[in-house]
Amino acid sequence: MAKTNTIITIGREYGSAGRQIGYKVAEDLGIKLYDREMLERAAKESGICEELFETHDEKPTNSFLYSLVMDSYSFGYPSSSYTDMPINHKIFLAQFDTIRKIASEGPCILVGRCADYALEEFDNVLSVFIHADMDARVRRIARIYDLTDAKAKDLIKKTDKRRSSYYNYYSNKKWGAAESYNICLDSSLLGIDGTAKAIEQLVALKETVTDRKL
């Protein structure tokens, strides 16, 4: 039996340990975490092949024209509800549907992929953004992938740029802006277990607070 009724979405800077913090919270609260599992499920439910979800994962295509060309097969063949749009939009919308379906099944944690935006109408959502100072992120990525500090920093910058472009393109909010999320936390302040604990305390507070008036 889960210890919460809340759905937690986690946006995260690359190297901030956002996903690992999510796994700790999921374990402590007895709920499932969806990261890449979302892609597999969205593929199954939409009938679009899974490789396409992986190719497009958290990446907007560079231009509308490019996506039209890459997607020329779908024009003029109205066989699914996602037909008359470029493939990256189809992928996004199929994922969007899957996120809402997963959320309607009960409490869970959803990492990345604009889940906070997809669930904007849900009442029982706590949207979290996890960031960390650059030095701590470089140390983590250099250690995990055995990279030089310079290469780790480069990878961090590129990945964050990709994630923010995806988020800013598909949602009506700004990636990493405080007001896009309920809570933003610096994981280099509290560490992995400390940040997980902070999220669990916030979930408990959200579930007990009755007076939200300002």
* Shortest separation between residue 121's beta carbon and a second copy, angstroms: 14
CA 193, chain centre distance (Å)? 20
Smallest Cα–Cα separation from 26: which of 62, 49, 2? Answer: 2
Q: Does 194 bind a second copy (CB under 8 A)?
A: yes
Determine the interface stretch with a second copy among 35-43, 61-69, 111-119, 188-196 (rule: CB under 8 A).
188-196
* Shortest separation between residue 193's beta carbon and a second copy, angstroms: 7
d(CA 152, CA 47): 36
Q: Does 207 bind a second copy (CB under 8 A)?
A: no
Determine the interface stretch with a second copy among 42-50, 60-68, 79-87, 192-200 (rule: CB under 8 A).
192-200
Q: Which of 6, 13, 87, 102 binds a second copy (CB under 8 A)?
A: 13
Smallest Cα–Cα separation from 45: which of 53, 55, 35? Answer: 53
Write each residue from 130 to 169 as x if it is in contact with a second copy (CB under 8 A), else as -, in one continuous string: -xxx--xx-xx-----------------------------
d(CA 185, CA 25): 14
In the complex with a second copy, the residue whose CB is nearer, 86 or 107, is: 107
* Shortest separation between residue 192's beta carbon and a second copy, angstroms: 7
What is the secondary structure of 105-133 as a DSSP string? TS-EEEESTTHHHHTTT-SSEEEEEEE--
d(CA 67, CA 131): 31
- Only one residue has tokens 């896009």, namely 180
On whether the CB atoms of residues 179 and 8 are closer than 8 A, the answer is no
Binders in 26-55 for a second copy, by CB under 8 A: none
Neighbours of 144 (CB within 10 A): 11
Q: Does 121 bind a second copy (CB under 8 A)?
A: no
Which residues sit at the interface with a second copy, rule CB under 8 A? 13, 15-17, 126, 129, 131-133, 136-137, 139-140, 176-179, 181-194, 197-198, 201-202, 205-206, 209, 211-214
